[in-house]
A and B are shown apart, each in its own frame.
Chain A
Amino acid sequence: MSNAVQTQEGALILDSHKLAYHYDRVEQWDSGKQIAPVSVDMALTRSCGAMCSFCYAMVQEPQERVSIKTSDALNLVDDFAKIGVRGVSLISDGESTLSKAYVPFIQHASSAGIDVGNATNGWEWEEDKIEQVLPHLTWVRFTCAAGTPEEYSRIMFKGPEHTEVFDRAIKNIQYAVALKKKKNLKVTLGIQMVLMPEFANEIIPFAKLAVDLGVDYGVIKHCSDDEYGSLGVAYEKYEDMYESLNEAEALSTEQTKVIVKWDKIKDKGKPSYNRFYGPQFLLQISGSGLVAPSGMFFNARYSKLHMGNFVDERFSDIFNSKRYTTIMNYLASPNFDAQTMMGTLPIQHYVSTALDNHKKGVEKLVPAKGDSPLHVNFL
């Protein structure tokens, strides 16, 4: 199992993909058939109370912001189940915990047999909400930009004096950790640092915070940027942080693993692939309701890759439309170049690299053997 980290609950793959466990879909795709995405990453709103300086949502504004009603969200779950989506992550371009649809969406997806994961800042994720959703979630990952209250508040909110947001997040994470233990829940809890070179001093405090909180993991990942460098991520400076990153990983304990997404960090923002096959397996939906192959294409700039809005029409109709196949085929054709026509390191990066290597014959995908890793339905 590539890049798997052994935790107390099983093998955790954060720095690779899980396509081998969905070989049925790989075979279908390889034979030229349209496939249902294994995973969908989405948000229930584009709103967010934070103002993270690394936030990719700053470059993802589509033409319209449509409000997603609870009924729309529940219909979406039904369509996912009908089509064959296996896992849904609430990450994408908004803070889904703010949506009225948040609790019903998770509970409905869980009862429909779809795994659900959620990335959140945890600020509005209080005891009552935690109790309603935690038993239904496969994983929760808290965005935690730094290990010290002042830096956390500077990076994620209005300034270092606003440490109330750090305190609130920590209180809610601690409650979730305790509830998981008390009820013996299967959910995996982690914190995530989106690393920009200017946050280098926070790498070790972040790792220590993960261990102190007793979460299952603390993960450190690169920061994405659009192809024009709007966020100003200096990829050439990541190498200077390798020593601190190794030091952070060494702080791992039996309970808490500190994991660095080395594969993405070492890519320095330049993918090996030109064709973009990943969205066929891992689709993204904006908190505005917009369905586009990838979050890289939510901005109005990429309108030619917009497939529809699930608030205006059923997702199943979008999935079965000519638009869906035409746009997916376009990304897999010589009309599109992932190296020059989209931002860096999308959520589909690992999957796209593996599918591209498969097509090129560099490394053929084969069916998985043995036990499934944790979170198998999140590619």
Chain B
Amino acid sequence: MVKPDLNTFTYTPTNNWTLFTPEERVEKVQAYIDKKSVYADIKVTVADKNGHVVVRIDHSIPANERGLFLLEMEQELKKNIDVGITIWLEPVGDKSKLRQLRGVEVKT
């Protein structure tokens, strides 16, 4: 078997993942998360065909903890559901009242 070129190869979702409907993907990830108490308060809002999974966390996690916490969760989901999963949080919009006048919205 030819080894992938690590300079260019990126994990992508398997066929299994892409064949599920968006709702089935959300359910699958949410069901896994709900089994773990450490992931309480995490709600899956989007699970795209391309592996991008968006979650909402209702409590704040300190800046020095959130990175590793989410990367570890992502590794678990990759291992147990699909290797192409990548985790993102819901974006926060610009809090500058002046710039808000421009009407730019952070897209998802």
Residues of A at the B interface (CB closer than 8 Å) are: 46-51, 53, 55, 57-65, 158, 226, 228-231, 274-275, 290-291, 299-309, 312-313, 318, 321-323, 326-327, 330, 333-337, 340-341, 356, 359-360
Contact = CB atoms under 8 A, between A and B. Distances in A.
B14 to A, nearest CB: 15
A42 to B, nearest CB: 15
Given A274-B8, A301-B88, A309-B64, A51 B107 contact: no
A1 B88 CA distance: 40
Nearest to A297: B67
Contacts of B67: 303-308, 323, 326-327
Tell me the interface secondary structure of chain A in the complex.
loop
Contacts of A53: 102
Contact of A334 (B11, B88, B102): B11
B102 to A, nearest CB: 6
A326 B71 contact: yes
Interface string B1-44: 00010111111000000000000000000000000000000000
Contacts of B8: 274, 360
B96 to A, nearest CB: 7
A61 B10 contact: no
Nearest to A290: B63
A287 to B, nearest CB: 11
B60 interface: yes
Given A61-B93, A301-B88, A306-B67, 17 more contacts: A46-B96, A47-B96, A51-B98, A57-B96, A58-B104, A59-B106, A63-B63, A230-B104, A274-B10, A290-B63, A300-B90, A300-B92, A303-B66, A304-B70, A306-B66, A340-B50, A341-B86
10 residue pairs, one from A and one from B, having the closest CB atoms: A304-B70, A228-B107, A301-B91, A308-B64, A337-B10, A300-B92, A309-B63, A61-B92, A58-B94, A51-B98
23 contacts: A50-B98, A55-B99, A61-B91, A63-B60, A158-B101, A226-B106, A226-B107, A230-B107, A274-B8, A274-B10, A299-B92, A307-B64, A308-B63, A309-B64, A312-B63, A322-B68, A327-B67, A330-B71, A333-B6, A334-B4, A334-B10, A334-B11, A340-B10
A230 B108 CA distance: 9
A63 B74 contact: no
B81 interface: no
A330 B87 CA distance: 13
Interface string B53-74: 0000000111110111011001
B40 to A, nearest CB: 17
A61 B96 CA distance: 9
